[in-house]
Structure 1
Amino acid sequence: MNDELTALVPYVRIHAEAEAPRECCGLAVRDTSGLLVYVACRNEARDHEHFIINATDYARAEDTGTIVAIVHSHPYADPAPSLADRAGIEDTELPWLIVNHPLGTYTISRPEGFAAPLIGRPFVHGVHDCYALVRDYFAKFGIPLNDYTRSWGWWEGASGPDLYRDNFVREGFREVPRETLREHDLILMRIRAPRENHMAVYLGHGVILHHLIGQPSRRETYQEFYQRRTTAVLRHRSFP
């Protein structure tokens, strides 16, 4: 398989040249004749997102054969997988071919059970953001939370899907009085937006774990800035 994926690198480099300085993305597909081919896809990513393969392009690729690897470029950067890439490799359960532009160096990485650290992960919307941090935190307690497709800026409109309010009950959370705040509770916040757009885990002793846009995930004091922007406290049924 490695040799077959390596043979696709020249085609990825052509795509990367056309897309630079944005990342290009595509799929390695084994067609009905057994040949491995590169299918270039559109990158739907916006601010603070690395790459998002266009859903229609993905579906069309599936119609032509079997998807055997995810492919994308790292413009002017090392082709080694980032933390977000490594998380994506685990989520897709597929090998990833990453090609540097313009040098053409590349890496091929496979799922290996990687889990990103809770502290210090760079912000990548939809992969490493505040909700992803919450999911990973609760996973450590054996509590699986569903992932939800979310487009950049979902919190800006007055109508449309609401990542938190639409889903917290089905995920096993209930709203509790704010004065009962305790360890493992979730804190919903509204920060410079018309609706709740941030979520933090309360660790106890006045400390929260959260991931703000454009910053690494971190522990921080639950200071007045966050308290004033808190809209609700949620508690999971596993912590009665």
Structure 2
Amino acid sequence: MKDETLARVVPYVIIHANAEAPRECCGAVILKDDDLVYVACRNLAVEHEHFIIAGYDYARAADSGRVMAIAHSHPYIAPEPSLADRIGIERTGLPWLIVNVPVGSYSITRPSGFKAPLIERPFVHGVHDCYAIVRDYYALQGIELRDYPRAFGWWEDPLGPDLYRDNFEKEGFVEVPREKLRQHDLILMNIRARRDNHMAVYLGHGVILHHLIGQASRREAYQEFYQRRTTAVLRHKAFLTEPKPCSL
């Protein structure tokens, strides 16, 4: 599908965007009866999330026709894809149409194999957060971890899942004594929360790689603040023998 063909739905996305501003709007562009149709969806995002398409709405759009693109808005900023947008484009494998309001300009970006750098990522929960950087780090070591859906604040929901504790064994991790900490180990932490709500990768030589809420991802000393909040050290089965050189 050519860009000029996809651009035919821009006026409908702008109508939705104006109605939702200053929040981002989101929706799906489907092919139905040989015509492109924009299906407006609800944005379920909360703090630290830009947009999350309601699953029911997306399923309704997919049931109505073939999904050809994802559309959303950038209120009061340029319609160029953010770093989080570019990750989303690769995840969906679809073109993304982004419109600006109130100007009405737009961009169309297609999957290109983009991968975000590990350092200096802006925080976007569910896209660029502490679990995402852990997944991407281990992917560089040849280890693929599942991408679990997670709503902001899951760590405080008494009825919700315990993302880390419920899943680390099925992902191939085992708990090891903290004094045995070494390169490539995964560190679980509890920072003023009901459950463990932060994780970091130990790079060796007293340095961790992690991504805190509201901050850019970074390397940082494994200082006393983080040591006191550590609840477990996990080691992937791939590293139960001698560690491999760090690919970072």
Q: TM-score with structure 2 length normalisation?
A: 0.95
SS in 2 for 1:108: strand
The corresponding residue for 1:173 is: 173
Which residue of structure 2 aligns with residue 85 of structure 1? 85
1:20 maps to a residue whose letter is A
Shift of 1:158: 3.0
Q: Distance in 2 between matches of 1:90 and 1:160?
A: 28
Alignment of 1:62 onto 2:29:
no
Match of 1:194 in 2: 194
**Which aligned pairs between 1:67-146 and structure 2 lie closer than 5 A?**
67-146=67-146
State how 1:145-224 maps to structure 2 within 5 Å. 145-224=145-224
Query: Within 2, Cα distance between the matches of 1:218 and 1:177?
Result: 25
TM-score (norm 1): 0.98
Report deviation, 1:141: 1.1
Q: Shift of the alpha carbon at 1:5?
A: 1.3
Q: Aligned AA for 2:9?
A: L
Please say if residues 158 and 195 of structure 1, whose CA atoms lie closer than 8 Å, have aligned partners that are also in contact.
no
How far is 1:160 from its partner? 2.2
User: For residues 15 and 159 of structure 2, what CA distance do their matches in structure 1 show?
Assistant: 41
1:9 alignment partner in structure 2: 10
Amino acid at match of 1:136: D
In structure 2, the residue corresponding to 1:10 is in which secondary structure? helix
**In 2: Cα distance, 1:4 partner to 1:168 partner:** 45
- Structure 2: state its 5+ residue gaps: 241-248
Q: What is the total number of aligned residue pairs between the two structures?
A: 239
Q: Residue 159 of structure 1: CA displacement?
A: 3.4
Distance in 1 of aligned mates of 2:25 and 2:159: 32
Question: 33-42 or 151-160, which moves further after superposition?
Answer: 151-160
